[in-house]
């Protein structure tokens, strides 16, 4: 196997331990690739959760496939980000391919991974702030007459409760929906909806939807079990989101470290990136 002699050109200027330029470049590359892939996955239906009623009937295979896609996104995006951070890092020692240099390359990959997560969190919070008013019924501003959590999770069930052939004032029906949502949220508890709340909900549906008490009672009897199932499904989806996100991010940290070290090796060899296996790596003197 050929031995590649490594560059020993001394580095001039002050020694910098952390090169933020390469870290920021890697983080931006990782965030961009992640955004594109996640947008594509959402477009083709590979989402881990949804407020759509049809999502509640999704099979476990779809959930598992969505989780695998989430891991794939982390590997590709953080791999590219780590490689960019390692490849663009400035040399910090006269013997550039030492163990210390590889360690510094890996640390730059980890910092790019961490910065990409922060950027993604900021973007997600901004998007949530923009999308939240649209999810709130009525005027779009959350207030005492709205129940955002209940409306998001049980919007379909609330629509079934308050269906009416008569036009209803917006403020009147919005407060009724919010109040009913808060009652239905108790269906996921250990004791479920109390008899007092059930009677009040029946009266609320009867007066707001302009239906007979018997029709209102039938609606309530049908919607309470459905709400319990919907909330249970949402809780399971939340647990899966948390688990898969943690796995994807940890794998992303590992691949970012490895890719940054590979980027550092490519930086010292020079030229365009090449695919190299463990056995084809150049030996060090």
pLDDT tens track for 40-72: 887 777 765 555 555 555 566 677 788 788 899
Res 189 pLDDT > 50: yes
Question: How far, in Å, CA of 240 to CA of 237, rounded?
Answer: 5
pLDDT of residue 130: 53
- Which residues have CB under 8 Å from 85's CB, separation 6+? 22, 23, 25, 26, 27, 105, 108, 109, 111, 112, 256, 260, 263
Question: How far, in Å, CA of 161 to CA of 28, rounded?
Answer: 47
R_g (Cα) of the chain, nearest Å:
27
Res 253 pLDDT > 90: yes
pTM, 2 dp: 0.66
For the segment 126-176, what is each residue's pLDDT rounded down to a tens digit? Answer: 665 554 444 444 444 444 444 455 555 666 567 667 666 565 555 567 777
- Which residues have CB under 8 Å from 56's CB, separation 6+? 229, 230, 233
């Amino acid at each position: 196997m050929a031995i590649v002699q490594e560059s020993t050109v001394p580095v001039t200027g002050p020694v910098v331990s952390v090169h933020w330029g390469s870290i920021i470049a890697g983080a931006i590359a990782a965030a961009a690739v992640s955004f594109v892939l996640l947008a594509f996955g959402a477009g083709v239906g590979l989402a881990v959760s949804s407020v759509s009623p049809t999502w509640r009937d999704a099979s476990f295979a779809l959930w598992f496939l969505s989780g695998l896609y989430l891991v794939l996104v982390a590997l590709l995006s953080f791999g590219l980000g780590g490689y960019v951070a390692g490849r663009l890092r400035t040399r910090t020692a006269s013997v550039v391919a030492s163990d210390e240099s590889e360690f510094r390359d890996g640390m730059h990959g980890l910092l790019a991974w961490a910065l990409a997560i922060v950027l993604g969190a900021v973007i997600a919070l901004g998007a949530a702030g923009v999308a939240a008013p649209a999810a709130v019924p009525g005027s779009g501003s959350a207030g005492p007459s709205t129940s955002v959590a209940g409306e998001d999770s049980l919007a379909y069930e609330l629509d079934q409760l308050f269906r009416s052939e008569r036009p209803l004032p917006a403020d009147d029906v919005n407060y009724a929906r919010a109040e009913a949502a808060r009652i239905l949220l108790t269906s996921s508890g250990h004791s479920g909806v109390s008899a007092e709340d059930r009677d009040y909900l029946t009266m609320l549906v009867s007066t707001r939807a302009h239906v007979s008490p018997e029709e209102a009672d039938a609606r309530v009897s049908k919607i309470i079990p459905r709400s319990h199932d919907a909330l249970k499904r949402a809780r399971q989806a939340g647990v899966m989101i948390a688990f898969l996100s943690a796995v994807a991010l940890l794998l992303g940290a590992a691949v970012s470290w490895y890719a940054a070290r590979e980027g550092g090796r490519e930086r010292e060899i020079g030229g365009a990136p090449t695919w190299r296996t463990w056995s084809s790596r150049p030996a060090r003197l």
